[in-house]
Structure formats: C-alpha cells, structure tokens
Amino acid sequence: MTRSLKFSRRNFCLSGGQALAITGLAGPALAQRRQARAPIAQTIVSALSELADAELISGRPEAAVTGVALLSNPTLAALRKAVAAHCSLILSPETPFYAHPADPAAASAPFAAMAASAISALHESPAFKAKQAFIADHGLTVYRLNPRANSGRDISAEATAARFGWTAHRVPGEHPIYAPPGMSVGTLIGLAHARLGASGGLRFIGDPAMRLRSILIVPGTAEVVSTTQALRHADALLTGDVREWEVVTYINDSAEAGLPKALVATGRILSEQPLVERCALAVRNAFPGVPLRNLVEPDPFWRVQA
C-alpha cells in the first residue's frame, strides 16, 4: 500500500525557510570552529626550534594561521603570492624591511644621532611604507629565521651540502668543510648553477681547472674573521655573499702568497634556499593539515653579455 505525502504551499515554504535558516547559521559557526582549530603562529614556529631561532618581525604570535609561506626573500611580490595562496604566516631567513634596525642607544655617542637619522629615513621611504601597509592590511605574521649552530653543527651549511649531494663527505672538525671527490673550480661553478639556480649573481675567483680537495660552505654572508680562519683548512669557499675589501682581498692575497684559494659566491638569497626547504619540511611534518607554500625566489641579478 502506497502512502502519498501531501505538502501545502505554506508547509513547503516553511520547511524550505527553516532549512535555509539552519544552513545560514551553520556557515559562520562552521567557519568559527575551523578557525578555533587552526594552529597559532607561535605553535607552528616552535616546530623549527632545532633548526632556527625565530624573531617576530610583524604581526601577532597568537594569530590563527590559514597557511604558511616560506620565502627565501620576502619581497613585496613574494608577499603578494603568499596572500594569493591564503597564507597568513610568513617565515624567512631575511627581514622584509631591508635591514636589521640599529639601536641608537647601543651606538657610541658620535654615531647615535646618525643611526637614529638612518632608521627614520628608512621608515619614511615609499617602499618601506608600502610593504608595511601591505603586511598590516592582510594581517600577516612575519618571523625571521636565524639558522642555529647546534653542537658544532651548522644547520644551514648542512642543508646546502645535502642539496649538492655532499652529506657523506663531511670532513671531521669544527668547520663545515666537505671533500667531494673529483671536484674542480669549474665543476663547482657548474654545480652552483644547477643546484641553486645561480646565474646573474654567480661570481668566482680562481682557475676553473684548479683541483679542489676540500670546500668550506658558508651560506648567507661570509664574515671575514671566521671565514678566513676556516679557510686555512680548505681549498675553496662556497658562499652567498662577500665583502670585496675583506674575503675577496684575502682570496687574492692568498694566491699572491703562493697558497691559492678559490671562491664561488652564488648570492645571499639563493644560498639560503636549502635552509628554507629544510624548514618547510619540518613544518609540513609537524602540521600536515596546514597549507604550506615554499615560494622559491629566482636569482635577482641579471648578467651583462660581453
């Protein structure tokens, strides 16, 4: 026996209206529950405690995270890509504001006013204001990652060595020196181009045919004292950036003294990309449900064709 269900127009409208009302209420409630479950910025950053020290540059550590973007260089263009990917937490080994602000109080008296003036001028620049406004308008939380050196281990150098396939060739000792077989200056230049994408910013000193028994890895900027001390035990330096009147002069003078050393500089930003990738992997493993983007920045330099 079949029973027919009869709905009046009034009953149908009432039922439909109730369903719409329930759906309308469920939407905001569901969004609130999802936001409540989202991890906060500080919790995600804690997953990197073995790799880097995190310095809050902008935003709130307790802010809920919709997605994580790891940037080797937090340019305004890269930040736009992160926002387009719905990322609210930005992690980078560099600050988005061009320099680490000097503390005028820490400067000696003759330079205190100069330091304060320089900071003020930077903060008033159009580029600074545009980036600052963009970060604030989109509610971004930005941390700068300072790579750690744990028990004599240089995490950033280890990440670079892994990218080059040299992990098994670490030389025992306190310095991040590696001895990959069959290496020459020319081979090292080719690897820097292939593994890091270095092109316009790639510079080198030394005879391309020179054989290399050991290579010192210093991602970022090579400081003169620590670098020259370690170079006593290596044939070449693979780094990001150097000051021409410091390490470059030391490399040239070593050759003049009959102890040739080679230098391959890829550019600071590219040299830090392996560390960024290692941090991205740590975040992904700790928070597999959080959207993550590793936004790789290309070599920012162009080369003039001779």
Q: What angle is formed at CA 81 by the lines to CA 80 and CA 84, rounded to 5 degrees?
A: 85
Which comes out higher in pLDDT, residue 151 or 106?
151
Contact status, residue 284 vs residue 166, Cβ threshold 8 Å: no
Neighbour tally for 245: CB within 10 Å: 9
Q: How far apart are CA 149 and CA 157, in angstroms?
A: 10
Tell me what the mean pLDDT of segment 160-187 comes to. Answer: 97
For the stretch 130-146, pLDDT in tens is: 999 999 999 999 999 99
> DSSP label at 301?
-
Q: Which residues pair with 55 in a beta bridge?
A: 144
How far is Cα of residue 49 from the mean position of the Cα atoms in its chain?
Answer: 15
Q: Is 22 helix (H, G, I), strand (E, B) or coil?
A: helix
Q: Which domains does the chain have, with CATH numbers?
A: 41-147+272-295 (3.40.1390.30), 151-265 (3.40.1390.30)
CA–CA separation, 187 and 97 (whole Å): 36
pTM assigned to the model: 0.82
Bridge partner residues of 294 (DSSP): 70
DSSP 70-98: EESS--HHHHHHHHHTT--EEEESS-TTS
How many helices and strands (H and E) does the chain possess?
A: 11, 14
pLDDT digits (tens, 9 = 90+) for 236-247: 999 999 999 999
Strands (DSSP E) along 5-150, which ranges?
Answer: 52-58, 68-71, 89-92, 141-147, 149-150
Judged against a pLDDT cut of 80, whether residue 36 lies above it is answered with no
111 pLDDT above the threshold of 90: no
pLDDT value, residue 10: 45
What is the dihedral angle through the alpha carbons of 237, 238, 244, 247, rounded to the nearest 10 degrees? Answer: -30
Confidence of residue 289 (pLDDT cuts 50, 70, 90): very high
236 token code pair: 């070449």
Token output for 122: 């930077």
Q: Would the pLDDT of 26 be above 90?
A: no
Q: In this predicted structure, what is the pLDDT of residue 20?
A: 38
Tens digit of pLDDT for each residue in 87-102? 999 999 999 998 765 4
